[in-house]
Homo-oligomer: A and B are copies of this chain.
C-alpha cells in the first residue's frame, strides 16, 4: 500500500476508515475546522483526554498497530466509564513518521475503528502531523444524565471498597510481550487484556444509574497509585486486605495485583448497607470487595499473615519513574 505524503491524504485515510460512522447527533468535521455536536438537553457532557506515546505507553516493535489503535481509544473511553457515562465521540491527534503512513496506519485504523464500533464512540475530527516518533492523544466526549456522574470524592468511612475483574493481569501480559512471544501468545488472556483492554462501560453505567457507587475511578496506573487519588478526593483512608485481591492465579505475586498498571478495571466504593445489593458478578465480570474506607487519611494493607503496613504508591507515574 502506498504511503500518503500529505496531511490531507492522511485525513483521507481517516475518512475512508470511518465512512458511514457518524450518527445523526454528530456533524462530522474531518475536513472542517471543528466538529459540531448536539447533545440533548437533559444530559451532561463529559470531556477527557489521554496521551498514548511510543516508548512511554507502547513499543513500536512489540505492540501490533491494531492494538495501538484499539488501546488509545479504550483507555480514554475508560475515563468515561469511570464516572458512569456513555461515550459519544472522540478526536484523535496523531503524529507519525512518514514510514508509518502506509501499512502501519491502515492496521492502526482497523483497530481504532473496531474499538469505535465496540464502544459506540464515533470519530469526530482530529489533527495529524509528521514526527519521527508515534504520538497519539485521544479526546473523548461523553454524556451522562444530569447529576448522575460518580466522582472520586463521594466515598465515606465504612463504605466497602470494590474492584471489577482481575488485578495485575495486563501487567503480566506486558511482561510476556516484552519477552518477545507476541504472536504465539495471542490467545493468552493476560496478553489480550494488555493489548485490547475493555473499558467497563456497562458496569460503570449500571453503578451510576442504581446510585450504588459512592465514588469511582478506573485503575490505569495500578491500585496502589490510583486508590490514594480516590482517598484524597474523599478525604478518607482505606484498609485493603491482601487476601481479598482478585488475582488470576493464587501464585501470582501480590506485587502485580497492587502495582500492575493498564488493567482499566473499575475501583468503586459502596455504602455498607448497599453492599448486599451488589451481585458477585456483573455480566460475567467478578466484583470483589477488597477492603473498606476508613477515617484516618492513610492507606493500610493487611498482609496475608495479618500484619498491617502502609501501602505506598508503587504503580506507574510517568514523572516519578525517571526520578
- A residues contacting B by CB (< 8 A) are 4-10, 27, 29, 31-39, 41, 44-51, 53, 56, 79-80, 82-83, 85, 89, 91-93, 95, 98, 101, 124-131, 135, 137, 139-142, 144, 146, 149, 151-153, 217-218, 229, 233, 317-323
Contacts and interface: CB of A to CB of B under 8 A. Distances in A.
A128 to B, nearest CB: 8
A278 to B, nearest CB: 21
18 contacts: A6-B320, A8-B229, A9-B319, A33-B82, A33-B152, A33-B217, A34-B85, A35-B48, A47-B141, A48-B91, A49-B91, A49-B93, A49-B127, A91-B139, A98-B322, A101-B319, A130-B318, A130-B322
Contacts of A125: 47-49
B49 A129 contact: no
Nearest to A82: B33
A319 B49 contact: no
Given A32-B151, A34-B80, 6 more contacts: A33-B48, A36-B46, A38-B45, A47-B91, A48-B125, A51-B93
A37 B47 contact: yes
Contacts of A128: 318-319
B319 A79 contact: no
Contacts of A41: 41
A130 to B, nearest CB: 4
A44 to B, nearest CB: 5
Given A41-B41, A53-B131, A127-B50, A33 B79 contact: yes
Contacts of A47: 29, 34-37, 89, 91, 124-125, 139, 141
Contact of A142 (B27, B34, B91): B34
Contact of A98 (B46, B93, B153, B319): B319
B39 A35 contact: no
Contacts of A53: 95, 129, 131, 135
Given A49-B91, A91-B48, A139 B142 contact: no
B80 A149 contact: no
A223 to B, nearest CB: 16
A34 B7 contact: no
Contacts of A10: 319
Contact of A32 (B7, B101, B127, B152): B152
